Structure 1
């Protein structure tokens, strides 16, 4: 019997390598697909006017029907779009560190980060690293790898994708109730951007979703607590198979 396929979609400014700690824990049970989103890693740059639809349809070309789709941050929005518009591809949906229906204050905060990235990209990278890793037990090697990935971005392509991340939850919000795939929304208890409140909003909006808050963690759950992410993915797939 073939192994179920798990698709891992990364966050804005990152690439498939951010999934390595989590992928190591899933590889013995699942066939893994780890594409680079449009504008990231080995994929082509994201042009001006890029939308969530563009990112999702590009990712969809490598996703087989009935996959278990796991999205982190921007990748979570991509995964939700696919669950909504290409439901045949998404057997289960795991949203890790996902935003959802930002409040006006939360919207202004992310737009301010977008403005900083446009005016001082280096300062924006440093601010992201502090927001994601400050006070965590993640080793210097992984922080350095994340920094190198961020700094290697095509800056204009990064801006185009970050704009999607900053705005697309507003477009998704009214239709989230149409996502029928079994789902879980996982976030860090101390995540200042993709907050526990957002995961609870997402769980309340989707008809078949629960929220899972991981104590003592910030934004980069797949690096900081890969075991927790792998456990939630595996449990969701197992519950669905049992049902």
Structure 2
């Protein structure tokens, strides 16, 4: 079965939407059980009227047929349960860009274009995972161009699931071998970010990817950078997970347990 993926790009909320939540970079994986548990609890209990998952929900996604594996099935069920009571949108990240129409149908979540916009409370926001804006990371941008190519994706997805999983495990092992090296996440290019905002006619952006959570207002534009989630690190002070909540009163950052 192959279901054509459709993507929303311009959303307009009415008076029935009062609370909107944004999260990204949860990096769901069997190897991070505390993080997965915090995310599942949030999805089950959130008081939001709409939820946006802005990329890298999963540490890796090798195709929608992976959703039947035990851990992925659990995550699929969590999204489906939330989408049954409030609208959920999901945007591709740099790790889960192979999420497609079958996953959307299985969960009831809507796929979101990148970039996309949402209008509510008299304001319009630009929504993006953020990786396309990190132009200084040239090796990554070359990799991104390759793996986002439809021909490349078709060739990859034509392989058996076990072969795709083996390749993903190999890539993860290489990444784990570098964990003792300092990790530096490149930031978005401000010139490009402002150009995107200008095309949309707004001055506010929400993105993830960089693992540099915070809100910044500068030079006529504002960005809200989403937190990555990690409740499994052995360093207590390094554990974090945030929800960015948007209401008519503005933005606030909450722990998942408060949202």
- Structure having the higher strand fraction is 2
Structure 1 and Structure 2 fold alike (TM over 0.5): no
TM-score (norm 1): 0.37
- Structure having the higher helix fraction is 1
Higher gyration radius (CA): 2
